[in-house]
């Protein structure tokens, strides 16, 4: 199965996906790394692994329609079957969500449906968790639909929030489990072990 990874930043989750492929754990290929940021670290990781890259941003297009058409074109041109968002901070155009229904995954650094939605990214998430007094946080892999962080949940794992935790220490703990559960969730899709039924996701 061919995977297209979308990333806006450093790309440590992208690297975790590549590691799983290289270790033979994840039977897939990454055929495209798409970034809306020309200076994203993820682009560098792709280049050094010989993976095709594209810098694609809404700003390069007069409207969403032409942007979305180009995105679909690029995805088809690289024969992408599954899209993995890995720190991609932009909304996926509706026509792309429709064309890849149940085939777009995202990783979020909290236990959705808590601490998700517009503005809830990066350190904002962990600061909100600490401020709430919650004793547990974690990471969530979910399907992407038309709204931010609202698609069906595929896989979650929790981490304790300890007395001494700051947003930075919590982010580091959560990131470690992100790197474990994202390749696991993608593997389930690649191996066709996912059943989506009545707004539930079953992995067998
Ligand atoms: C991760 O915390 C992920 O959950 C969120 O964005 C961050 C991306 O980090 N969606 P990286 O670029 O994969 O290192």
Note the pLDDT tens digit of each residue in 114-140: 999 999 999 999 999 999 999 999 999
Write the residue with the smallest CA distance to atom 12 of ligand 1.
11
Cα(146) to centroid(ligand 1), Å: 20
Question: Which pLDDT belongs to residue 149?
Answer: 87
Question: Which pLDDT belongs to residue 199?
Answer: 87
Write the residue with the smallest CA distance to atom 6 of ligand 1.
87
Q: Which atom of ligand 1 is nearest to the CA of 15?
A: 13
Q: Which atom of ligand 1 is nearest to the CA of 85?
A: 10
Q: For residue 176, is pLDDT > 90?
A: yes
Three-state SS string across the chain, please? Answer: CEEEEECCCCCHHHHHHHHHHHCCCCCCEEEEEEECCCCCHHHHHHHHCCCCEEECCHHHCCCHHHHHHHHHHHHHHCCCCEEEECCCCCCCCHHHHHHCCCCEEEEECCCCCCCCCCCCCCHHHHHHHHHHCCCEEEEEEEECCCCCCCCCEEEEEEEECCCCCCHHHHHHHHHHHHHHHHHHHHHHHHCCCEEEECCEEEEC
Write the residue with the smallest CA distance to atom 7 of ligand 1.
87
Question: Which pLDDT belongs to residue 148?
Answer: 84
């Amino acid at each position: 199965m061919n995977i297209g990874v979308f990333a806006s930043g450093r790309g440590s989750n992208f690297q975790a996906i590549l590691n799983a492929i290289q270790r033979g754990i994840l039977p897939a290929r990454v055929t495209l790394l798409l970034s809306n940021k020309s200076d994203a670290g993820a682009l560098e990781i792709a280049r050094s692994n010989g993976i095709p890259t594209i810098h694609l941003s809404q700003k390069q297009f007069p409207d969403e329609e032409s942007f979305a058409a180009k995105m679909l074109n690029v995805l088809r041109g690289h024969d992408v079957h599954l899209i993995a968002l890995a720190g991609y901070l932009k909304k996926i155009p509706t026509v792309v969500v429709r064309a890849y229904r149940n085939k777009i995954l995202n990783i979020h650094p909290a236990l959705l449906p808590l601490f998700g939605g517009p503005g809830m990214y990066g350190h904002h998430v962990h600061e909100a968790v600490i401020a709430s007094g919650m004793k547990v946080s974690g990471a969530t892999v979910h399907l992407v639909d038309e709204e931010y962080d609202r698609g069906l949940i595929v896989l979650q794992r929790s981490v304790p929030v300890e007395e001494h935790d700051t947003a930075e220490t919590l982010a580091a703990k959560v990131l470690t489990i992100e790197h474990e559960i994202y390749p696991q969730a993608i593997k389930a899709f690649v191996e066709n072990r996912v059943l989506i039924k009545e707004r539930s996701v079953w992995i067998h």
